[in-house]
Amino acid sequence: MDIQKSEFGKLPEGAEAKLFTLKNDNKITIKITNYGAIITSIETPDKNGNVENIVCGFEKLEDYLSDTYLGSYPYFGCIVGRNCNRIAKGNLEIDGKKYQLAINNGPNHLHGGLVGFDRKLWDAEVLNEDNAVGVKLSYTSPDLEENYPGNLKVTCIYKLNNENELSIQYYAETDKKTVVNLTNHTYFNLTGGKENILNHELKLAANKFTDSVDLIPTGELAPVENTPFDFTKNKKINQDMAGLPEGYDLNFVLDNLEGKLVEAGSLSEAASGRKVEVYTTQPGIQLYTGYWIPELEIDGEKKFGSYSGVALETQNYPDAIHYNNFPSSILAPGKKYDRLTIYKFT
């Protein structure tokens, strides 16, 4: 195993972003930058040993900063926070005190606001252990950043081992009650980007989903049985999409309120033979099939576009602050936010 650190580019204010290249002994290479804690690429072999990048991302920092990319921003590969997913109308109330969050997705608040953790430069520390290589990323979000209360100290630890597991460990602590819901927003495409993801096969360990109207939960946990949202058995993503003109974008319930490490699901693609298994201590997983991913021109080549990647975002339920029957998203002083997600490549 090996880890290398290199320069990735300069931010407009002059700060230098770094790139960390993690390699194991099985031809898996993962690149992570401390800008946005972004996974920029994951290279894995197919069934014939051909190594390709299986996630949506860029080779240069400037592409992550471009107006074209940010104009229809798909959040490639980043850590999303302070609160991933949506908060209805940006209304946040904690112990009777109201905070109005940014409205940046229709009438709602999305992924931490106008400039979330996905666009911050994190402190970075290389990890080189006996059985894993990785990078420890840290960021302190000041009180009332994006109008969230509390000084929040966040740590994200990425590790790659020889079992072909990429683990993402999240920690957070606060000095005032606040909401925290962190996730990674990587989009997978197991064909190496040669085709879209509609023929990928997906299985989710979820018998229910958070029923939603206009992407905001109603509070009901609805059964997946006899709906297009039933992935309890392996099926192609597009098999039941006829009535879903924009594909899938919803949270599935993992029946994991105790925070155990459970298998959330798996994604596979027959032609390449690649498979990604997802394990998490989180209670939910957002399936987003990437309808709104923009087509971009990168170095003269057209790339990405609708359905060019599928995101499997382990998380707490969306808009949990407004529903007592959802797992709480509130973090109090003296408590530690502690979540783990593992992506295993086979």
CA distance 210 to 189: 25
Q: Distance between CA 102 and CA 90 in Å, rounded? A: 6
User: 47, 37 in Cβ contact below 8 A?
Assistant: no
Helix (H, G, I), strand (E, B), or coil: what is residue 118?
A: helix
Q: Which neighbouring-strand residues pair with 33? A: 19, 38
Burial (0-12, 13-18, 19+ Cβ within 10 Å), 327: middle
Residue boundaries of the structural domains of the chain = 2-345
Strands (E), 234-283: 235-236, 249-253, 262-269, 274-280
Cα distance between residue 103 and residue 336, in whole Å: 28
Burial pattern 114-149, b for ≥16 Cβ within 10 A else e, equals eebbbbbbbebeebeeeebbbbbbbbebeeebbebb
The CATH architecture assigned to 2-345 reads Distorted Sandwich (2.70)
| 311 close to 288: Cβ distance less than 8 angstroms | yes
Residue 12: CB atoms within 10 Å? 6
pTM: 0.98
The set of catalytic residues is 185, 313
In tens digits, what is the pLDDT along the chain, a chain of 346 residues? 999 999 999 999 999 999 999 999 999 999 999 999 999 999 999 999 999 999 999 999 999 999 999 999 999 999 999 999 999 999 999 999 999 999 999 999 999 999 999 999 999 999 999 999 999 999 999 999 999 999 999 999 999 999 999 999 999 999 999 999 999 999 999 999 999 999 999 999 999 999 999 999 999 999 999 999 999 999 999 999 999 999 999 999 999 999 999 999 999 999 999 999 999 999 999 999 999 999 999 889 999 999 999 999 999 999 999 999 999 999 999 999 999 999 999 9
Amino acid at 3: I
Residue 263 bridge partners (DSSP): 279
CA distances (Å), 45 to each of 118, 273, 300, in order? 28, 9, 27
